[in-house]
């Protein structure tokens, strides 16, 4: 269906290789559709005992979704006041894929060797095992492009220790392997030079019986210490500042703390989309009360439809990924101008994706 993702059965493992290296293996709609079809087929294939997904090259597992193509669809179809069909298909089918991975009947292993952001988090964190390396760079940077941390972020992030998920969601701050282990975005740390041996032994495993148990034992044999987690050291400060339910209060708390971390984090938030920040914070609080990933993804699909007709998403993608001037002009431009009523409108039911 597309040359940007490859599928192969090796041993008893269904292997997925994302191979769009020119774009850091970011996901297109065609890739999402191909993965869904193949995962569905392997779920019923008795010759496949587990699934292994990785990114081609040494730079990236998956840097996210192809939001440039999503923006292009709006430019090509004109301002219609509603999402284009490509937009609805892209996000709806991406969220379905995230749900499928979460419910997959066989062990699902993701090798996070390199950049893992946005949509790359969605096709890894909901699986059975996630292996980080010293090259892993993990982030949910969507508030910087006028969107929100989707692909199940409303489910995963509120369940990180303390308020670390709130911090990561609002700031988009990138973290490395030790922090991935701490927030449970990774189950194991394996140095990249050990991956070939790990992969070879995975392919030789007998998956009869407790496949997940055998994989877990093998991963533990190859795993090493990821080191101390910087987020753990800042946990108390982050928990206190990001416990507030208003973004303005979070920023004020950070400024009151002062020091490099407080001042730099407050400044970072002040450059994010005000609408994205407020809607994301509300999503996190609601997501903490969701009973399932499916419920969260339905909420996110409602939200994304509003983001796809608002201006900040298109302006953010333009400024950071198209023109790359890194000077987005947000509208509204201040947090104070984003009213509670405006935030609530992003959660008004618009359509379901049938999860």
In the set 14, 114, 119, 120, the catalytic residue is 119
How many other β-carbons are positioned within 10 Å of the β-carbon of residue 30? 14
What's the angle, vertex CA 71, arms to CA 57 and CA 336, rounded to 5? 110
**C-beta contacts of 306-309 below 8 A and 24+ residues apart:** 306/345, 306/346, 306/348, 306/350, 307/146, 307/147, 307/148, 307/279, 307/346, 308/70, 308/74, 308/83, 308/84, 308/87, 308/91, 309/81, 309/82, 309/83
Task: Give the whole-angstrom CA distance, residue 332 versus residue 84.
Answer: 23
Structure tokens at 206: 């007998």
Structure tokens at 138: 């993990």
Is position 206 annotated as part of the catalytic site?
Answer: no
Q: With beta carbons less than 8 A apart as the criterion, state whether 109 and 50 touch.
A: yes
Nearest to 215 by CA among 327, 107, 67, 339: 107
Task: Give the whole-angstrom CA distance, residue 44 versus residue 8.
Answer: 15
Dihedral, 149, 171, 180, 63 alpha carbons, nearest 10: 60
In the set 94, 150, 296, 298, the catalytic residue is 150
Task: Give the whole-angstrom CA distance, residue 278 versus residue 343.
Answer: 7
Is position 165 annotated as part of the catalytic site?
Answer: no
Q: With beta carbons less than 8 A apart as the criterion, state whether 69 and 216 touch.
A: no
In the set 142, 296, 312, 315, the catalytic residue is 142
Task: Give the whole-angstrom CA distance, residue 354 versus residue 193.
Answer: 42
Task: Give the whole-angstrom CA distance, residue 313 versus residue 64.
Answer: 15
Task: Give the whole-angstrom CA distance, residue 57 versus residue 323.
Answer: 26
Q: How far is CA 139 from each of CA 8, 57, 105, 350, rounded to the nearest angstrom?
A: 29, 19, 27, 28
Is position 119 annotated as part of the catalytic site?
Answer: yes
In the set 11, 55, 65, 152, the catalytic residue is 65
Is position 142 annotated as part of the catalytic site?
Answer: yes
Q: With beta carbons less than 8 A apart as the criterion, state whether 270 and 252 touch.
A: no
- The helix or strand, by DSSP H or E, that contains position 275, with its residue range, turns out to be helix 274-287
Kindly list the catalytic residues: 65, 119, 142, 150
């Amino acid at each position: 269906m597309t040359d940007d993702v490859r599928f192969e059965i090796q041993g008893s493992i269904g292997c997925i290789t994302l191979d769009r290296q020119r774009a850091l293996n970011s996901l297109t709609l065609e890739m999402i559709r191909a993965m869904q079809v193949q995962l569905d087929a392997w779920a019923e294939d008795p010759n496949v005992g587990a699934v292994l997904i990785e990114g081609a090259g040494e730079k990236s597992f998956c840097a996210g979704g192809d939001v440039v193509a999503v923006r292009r669809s709006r430019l090509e179809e004109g301002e219609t006041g509603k999402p284009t069909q490509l937009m609805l298909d892209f996000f709806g089918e991406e969220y379905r894929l995230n749900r499928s991975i979460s419910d997959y009947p066989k062990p699902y292993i993701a090798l996070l060797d390199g950049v893992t952001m946005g949509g790359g988090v969605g096709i890894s964190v909901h699986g059975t095992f996630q292996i980080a390396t010293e090259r892993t760079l993990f982030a949910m940077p969507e508030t910087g492009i006028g969107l929100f941390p989707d692909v199940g972020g409303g489910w995963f992030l509120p369940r990180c220790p303390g308020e670390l998920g709130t911090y990561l969601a609002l700031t988009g701050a990138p973290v490395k392997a030790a922090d991935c282990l701490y927030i449970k975005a990774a189950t194991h740390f394996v140095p990249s030079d050990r991956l070939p041996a790990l992969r070879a032994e995975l392919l030789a495993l007998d998956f009869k019986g407790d496949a997940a148990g055998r994989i877990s034992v093998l991963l533990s044999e190859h795993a090493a210490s990821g080191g101390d987690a910087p987020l753990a050291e800042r946990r108390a400060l982050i928990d206190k500042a990001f416990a507030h339910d208003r973004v303005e209060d979070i920023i004020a708390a950070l400024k009151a703390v002062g020091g490099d971390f407080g001042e730099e984090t407050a400044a970072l938030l002040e450059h994010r989309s005000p609408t994205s920040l407020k809607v994301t914070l509300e999503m996190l609080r609601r997501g903490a009360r969701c009973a399932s990933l499916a419920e969260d993804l339905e909420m996110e699909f409602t939200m994304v439809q509003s983001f796809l007709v608002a201006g900040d998403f298109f302006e953010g993608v333009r400024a950071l990924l198209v023109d790359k001037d890194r000077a987005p002009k947000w509208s509204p431009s201040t947090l104070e101008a984003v009213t509670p009523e405006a935030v609530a409108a992003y959660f008004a039911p618009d359509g379901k994706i049938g999860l």
